[in-house]
Amino acid sequence: MIHTKDLYFKYPGAAQNTVNGISFDVGAGEIFGLLGPSGSGKSTTQKVLFKLLSGYQGSAQIKGKEITDWGKELYSQIGVGFELPNHYLKLTALENLAFFQSFYDEGLDPMELLKMVGLEKDADKKVGEFSKGMKMRLNFVRSFAHNPEILFLDEPTSGLDPSNSRILKDIILDLKNQGKTILITTHHMEDAEELCDQVAFLSEGEIKKLDSPENLKLEYGKRTLEVRTYGSNEPVIFDLDQLKDDKSFLELVQSGEIKTIHSKEANLNDIFIATTAKK
């Protein structure tokens, strides 16, 4: 659904490429996560893909068609959830949704959309009086209000409290179940791990690592087990592969002294730091 090959982009007047030869593929019904430090080019990559920025090099395709060959009809196929809230502040939430929806042939019920993210009570409130999180939730539902096949979400959970963030993630998973293809950027590695089929770590416009979260966690993790006991402040470390023959481990289990047990596969936070660190 989304395909890039050796994609380069340079802002007019900038000294260096902001997107520096990236290649990736997002299949139908997949969630693809673009991760990476602030300023690494995540939003820029998205903007190139939905044609807000022009003048790229290499190939970028949506549904098998090069971006430059798409006209305005592209925008019926895709939905965009911007990084920063953008609404008419003098219009109400409902008016905002209805206004933008009127330019599409298809549309979900605006009130239903507001309900999904807990904004039904604020439907008739001017968006100028919304908090940041409320604006972001409105941004989010607007992105798929015209029921597009492909979604670009730029930090959809930023500025949200844990419960609202949970609600959003459930909606994203639900959209995936409906068969939507989603390109998402986020700084929350837990979210990426939970949502994404594949993640790419971007640093200075280059993809440093691309794989599924499961594979990455194994690749970067240590095959060890860390056990903490009531008796000691120091954890005891065991080798996972030797565990079944490890007498001291079995004794520890039977002793009833165990406080916590953790296998030490890497989490995406560690991988983020390891892959995107600047040399």
Partner 1 sequence: MKKLYTLIKNDLKLIVRDKTLLSFLLLPPVLIIAFKFLTPILVETAPILEEYRVIIGMFASIQTAIMFGFVTSFLILDEKDENVMNVIRILPISGFYFILYRLLFATVFSSIAAYAMITLSDIAHPGNLEAILLAILYGMTAPTISLAISTYAKNKVEGMAYFKGIDLLLMLPIASFFVGSSLSMVFSILPTYWVFHFYETSYNDAPAFEFFAVGFCFFGILISLLLFQFRKRVFGR
Ligand X SMILES: Nc1ncnc2c1ncn2[C@@H]1O[C@H](COP(=O)(O)OP(=O)(O)OP(=O)(O)O)[C@@H](O)[C@H]1O
Q: Which does 151 bind (CB under 5 to 8 A by kind): Mg ion, partner 1, ligand X, none?
A: none
Q: What are phi and psi of 202, to 5 degrees?
A: -105, 135
Q: Which does 40 bind (CB under 5 to 8 A by kind): Mg ion, partner 1, ligand X, none?
A: ligand X
3-state class of 224 per DSSP? strand
- CA separation for the pair 150, 47 (Å, rounded): 14
Binding site for ligand X (CB under 6 A): 11, 14, 18, 36, 38-44, 83
Do residues 22 and 4 lie in contact, with contact meaning Cβ atoms separated by under 8 Å? Answer: yes
User: Minimum CB separation from partner 1 for residue 193, in Å?
Assistant: 29
Provide the strand spans (E) within 30-180. Answer: 31-35, 57-62, 65-66, 78-81, 150-154
3-state class of 147 per DSSP? coil
User: Minimum CB separation from ligand X for residue 210, in Å?
Assistant: 16
**Given the complex with partner 1, which of 90 and 259 has the nearer CB atom?**
90
**Given the complex with Mg ion, which of 44 and 92 has the nearer CB atom?**
44
Closest CA to 57 of 95, 7, 118, 113: 7
Amino acid identity of residue 208, one-letter, is K
Binding site for partner 1 (CB under 8 A): 11-12, 50-54, 72-73, 75-76, 78, 80, 82, 84-91, 95, 99-100, 102-104, 126, 142
Q: Kindly state the tokens that stand for 148.
A: 């597009």
Q: Candidates 39-47, 90-98, 215-223, 229-237: pick the segment binding Mg ion (CB under 5 A).
A: 39-47
**Given the complex with ligand X, which of 40 and 139 has the nearer CB atom?**
40
**Given the complex with Mg ion, which of 17 and 92 has the nearer CB atom?**
17
List of residues contacting Mg ion (CB under 5 A): 42-43, 83
